[in-house]
Structure 1
């Protein structure tokens, strides 16, 4: 069965340059572990205050969906249902993940990017996964998030295989570190070329990015409204888990921007809450 794409702002064709290295961009767990003593970290620039997101964490089941996981990041630290990853992303010498760049503050998960002298002045970022708690085939995933402006610092809210073997990959929401005026959803199937779709908006403001994943069907949502649908036998049918991350990119990449003189001293990805459901 061929993959069918419906919705506005969709593209299906030869793989885009930034998609050729999906495992390099989004692999959250294969980066090398740090040695017993790491490079000296600089004091982080202070984060901007977390403003109210305007939407409360959903509580309870929805028609056709049974709620199985929620987190509104209201505690003083990241709870043990998540783990933060560390190391250089495969294929990206311009990026580095460090758990010290992940915090919970103001009722939100904050993944901060700022330059680290011990990493040659590169912007270091972070990421988290709940793979050890929720890995499943099919489900609904809703993430309330916003991202600071900052050239060269991209975000990705994605589903990654529980086996840790790429492909597949489902990017619920990501961008290329440019002006935050467009959000992308991407399927990297086991077979065939990646499929990309994008929707305009101001993603420095709070939005809820969502995905409804059922057999042979992906429905991407924004603030509760479907904006693109993919269907066909290339839709993944194996257990996957949620990962939330930001990443700095090396200069010379054909799609991702890299940090420049306009990039602020600190660029934050903020996540107010996450809700996960299984089919009822």
Structure 2
């Protein structure tokens, strides 16, 4: 990401290094970083509080920040306020401009929620701005990441904001700001990067810290008994606080037609597989969605015309839907790192009356065409405001607990329980009963309307992704299975 054109960068060009594969990236956006100013060594200990991003206001220039390659960076000063300007110096038609912080200090109270906001503007109405928070170990290893809803950029400043829950006092946080789709010579500015920490057991929200530079508004009173974001969602992790409303243990010899619809002789527009009912089976106490290479390709209209792989898809449309509660699935994923390019299993919810979508679990096989990353070792949870508009509308996403640097332990190693807790003001994602991400309507306001009304369940396995890669004989095996032990749904209550 960038060749710096200021004098201080010339001595550092030889020191560019790629981040550990996928370390601070959601959907593989960051190709590499170049250290700017002081290196990361020693900086983590300079912060006096775990709530501080080193040099968040850019008053110390480039120190503790890294910029993307082929990017010119400049500090813009207006009085006592500073902004970082990035300018695209690449010859590529479109690319991502990124600004990444070194990790802050340890010392968070376990269970605290760290909230980060920043402002971004652009010299052109081109591109989409985003913010990633990365939870790191004390040594700096990336463990998981959470992203803010993406926003279109223009000449005026727009605010991006998200939060992450820190499970341990030994954890650290780093920040990555970016604009995807920047054109040649396009300039981006980042300013007013702020941190705050919400205690884990707050019974009521305290006053919100004012945003520097924000337009003053009339204050509004908070209800003194309102729970802190995520508290309501966390209650569903207690079995005594939920009531079972749907369960399939797959103990029979065929799919229960009173619970599921199985799609047949059909295809999706954005992968390279063909849907067959015969690929969905129940035996030995488990549901299996099979992916198989066919002896002859199936020709379809729309999307990839030649479909060499068959797969399965089932849902509860018209049979079961629910608003709020907990959804969980125990499954073994087929995306091991050996010849599973394009394999894409998912467990997700879609609105009966809205276009909102809750992706509880999606993961992708390896080797992917994004050669810097191994997506199969982790999995992704995503929220979509409108599935018909995709990234053009609101989107929030988080990768799970896996260590992107070593790729171990991988989610495809054995069975895991993938879950989501959904309440009116929040969603919380879990793996094996451990929370890895929580998002509230305060951080993502469009959740209130996108996730209103009942949602149905979807289980499917796509084969082929325009981003992670389409299947081929060399990198995709002929047979792979997505095996589900059970699916259970609960409503709040006791």
Q: Distance in 1 between matches of 2:325 and 2:468?
A: 29
Q: Does 2:381 match 1:202?
A: no
| Structure-2 residue corresponding to 1:18 | none
Q: Structure 1 stretches of 5 or more lacking a match?
A: 16-60
| Structure-1 residue corresponding to 2:357 | 169
The Cα shift of 1:151 comes to: 1.6
| Structure-1 residue corresponding to 2:490 | 277
The Cα shift of 1:121 comes to: 5.7
Q: Does 2:278 match 1:100?
A: yes
| Structure-2 residue corresponding to 1:56 | none
| Structure-1 residue corresponding to 2:287 | 109
Considering Cα pairs closer than 8 Å and 6+ residues apart, tell me whether 1 or 2 has the greater RCO: 1
Instruction: Find the partner of 2:436 among 224, 227, 244.
Output: 227
Q: Distance in 2 between matches of 1:102 and 1:207?
A: 20
The Cα shift of 1:113 comes to: 0.5
Query: In structure 1, the residue corresponding to 2:383 is in which secondary structure?
Result: strand
Q: Does 2:396 match 1:187?
A: no
Q: Distance in 2 between matches of 1:256 and 1:85?
A: 25
Q: Does 2:468 match 1:256?
A: yes
Q: Is the 8 A contact 1:124 1:247 kept in 2?
A: no
The Cα shift of 1:90 comes to: 2.6
| Structure-1 residue corresponding to 2:454 | 239
Q: Is the 8 A contact 2:331 2:483 kept in 1?
A: yes
Instruction: Find the partner of 2:267 among 88, 91, 97.
Output: 88
Query: In structure 2, the residue corresponding to 1:78 is in which secondary structure?
Result: coil
Q: Looking at CA atoms only, which structure, 1 or 2, has the larger radius of gyration?
A: 2
Q: Is the 8 A contact 1:3 1:230 kept in 2?
A: no
The Cα shift of 1:258 comes to: 1.8
Query: In structure 2, the residue corresponding to 1:176 is in which secondary structure?
Result: coil
Any residues of structure 2 matched to 1:112-191 within 5 Å, and which?
112-116=290-294, 117-119=296-298, 120=306, 122-148=308-334, 149=336, 150-163=340-353, 167-178=355-366, 180-190=376-386
Q: TM-score, normalised by structure 2?
A: 0.43
After superposition, the CA RMSD in angstroms is: 2.5
Figure out how many residues of one structure are paired with residues of the other and give that number.
228
The Cα shift of 1:245 comes to: 0.5
My pick for the range that moved more, 262-271 or 114-123, is 114-123
Moved over 6 A (4+): 2-7
Q: TM-score, normalised by structure 1?
A: 0.75
Q: Does 2:10 match 1:10?
A: no
Q: Is the 8 A contact 2:276 2:311 kept in 1?
A: yes
Query: In structure 2, the residue corresponding to 1:96 is in which secondary structure?
Result: strand
Query: In structure 1, the residue corresponding to 2:273 is in which secondary structure?
Result: coil
Q: Is the 8 A contact 1:138 1:237 kept in 2?
A: no
Q: Structure 2 stretches of 5 or more lacking a match?
A: 1-114, 118-131, 136-143, 152-237, 299-305, 367-373, 387-391, 403-408
The Cα shift of 1:3 comes to: 11
Q: Distance in 1 between matches of 2:418 and 2:116?
A: 22
Q: Distance in 1 between matches of 2:149 and 2:457?
A: 27
Q: Is the 8 A contact 2:341 2:464 kept in 1?
A: no
- Measured at CA, do residues 210 and 155 of structure 1 come closer, stay the same or move farther in structure 2, by a change above 3 Å? same
The Cα shift of 1:272 comes to: 0.3
